[in-house]
Amino acid sequence: MCWSASWVCFMTASKLMIKTVIARFDNGERALLAQLLPHLANDDLLVMDRGFPAVWLFSLLQQRGLPFLARMDGNQWPAVEAFLRSGLPETVITLPVSASAHRQAQAAGQTLTHKSLTLRLIKVILSTGHSEVLATTLTDRDIYPAQAFAELYHARWNIEEAFKVLKHRLYLEQFTGELPESIRQDIHAKIFTANLAEALAREAYDRPPDDKAAHYYPNLTYILNSLKTRLFAWLIQRVPHDLILELIALYARTLERKRPNRKAPRPKNWIRTKPRRQYR
């Protein structure tokens, strides 16, 4: 059972979730993203996966001067499919903003002013030999070379790791109540906890031990478990500065070994079909 929908603005460099919007379960991801656009700056790069590309959303980002990078699905975009067949490494295309795109924007509470959309398409060859297409509004090839975009898009993997923490470490979908306010409290509390864990792990990211820098990274599961016995007390009383420094030093020493190319199915969490009745 789906109780709500949420969208999070995530910074891939700092690994912090800086803004979230929560709405009814029947709200689409693109409409939720549009609500967060005022919180983005013109020097930010919005990175999106294959679920977001739409002419109306791209046109909205373009008219607001917000650069983006998105992975495209050639099956749904004839221009992208033609680009894949062309054999070119990159190209610039211009698409019309149709009446249908205007209606979709209006349904999301947005208004489009541009009549056309200009995109730069870049082909990336994956390690498997398959090709993927990235689209961006950064069309200057001298300032933004094509080879840089594959690495930029790969940084999106930190988003997947953040949601793994929320869903499989903090059990975001296990709501403690059923009323909108309790669901909002659950989501914000768990995002706060995840951000706090990442902030406390920053020392390990920035200055790992010399003998472990290449093969280890912070153990977020350990950090989250240690916060369970401390976080409530921290919220109701002053936390000694020395205690925080001791914990940061401890987390910097408690590392997890990197395991490149490791693949395993994610465990299925059992989600209660009914929320707990003791708290609504």
- Which tens digits make up the pLDDT trace of 67-87? 999 999 877 789 999 999 998
Q: Are residues 142 and 193 in the same domain?
A: no
264 lies in some domain: no
The reported pLDDT for the residue numbered 95 is 95
Question: Last residue of a domain, which of 122, 138, 155?
Answer: 155
Domain of 209, in residue numbers: 158-257
Q: Are residues 68 and 143 in the same domain?
A: yes
**Mean pLDDT over residues 39-57, rounded?**
93
In the chain the beta strands, taken as DSSP E runs, fall at: 5-11, 16-23, 46-48, 68-72, 90-96, 116-125, 131-136, 216-218, 255-257
d(CA 156, CA 150) in angstroms, rounded, equals 10
Question: Last residue of a domain, which of 103, 135, 155?
Answer: 155
| Residue 212 pLDDT class (50, 70, 90 cuts) | low
pLDDT tens per residue across span 54-71: 999 999 999 999 999 999
Q: Are residues 186 and 125 in the same domain?
A: no
Q: Are residues 146 and 233 in the same domain?
A: no
Q: Are residues 51 and 149 in the same domain?
A: yes
For the whole model, what pTM was predicted? 0.83
Question: Last residue of a domain, which of 134, 155, 176?
Answer: 155
pLDDT tens per residue across span 213-247: 667 788 899 999 999 889 988 989 888 899 999 99
Taking 60 as the threshold, does the pLDDT of residue 191 lie above it? yes
**Residue 131: DSSP 8-state:** E
| Residue 19 pLDDT class (50, 70, 90 cuts) | very high
**Four-point Cα dihedral 145, 151, 153, 157, nearest 10:** -170
66 lies in some domain: yes
The reported pLDDT for the residue numbered 1 is 46
Residue 188: CB atoms within 10 A of its CB come to 13
Which is it for strands 68-72 and 131-136: parallel, antiparallel or unpaired?
A: antiparallel
Terminal CA-to-CA distance of the chain, rounded, Å? 16
The reported pLDDT for the residue numbered 218 is 86
Q: Are residues 199 and 151 in the same domain?
A: no
Q: Are residues 239 and 188 in the same domain?
A: yes
Q: Which residue has the higher pLDDT, 74 or 160?
A: 160
Q: Are residues 44 and 62 in the same domain?
A: yes
pLDDT tens per residue across span 241-279: 999 999 998 888 888 877 766 666 666 665 555 555 555
Q: Which residue has the higher pLDDT, 24 or 91?
A: 91
The reported pLDDT for the residue numbered 203 is 82
Report residue 45 CA to chain centroid gap: 12
Q: Are 71 and 94 in contact (CB under 8 A)?
A: no
> 95 is written with which tokens?
């698409």
Tally of structural domains, the chain = 2
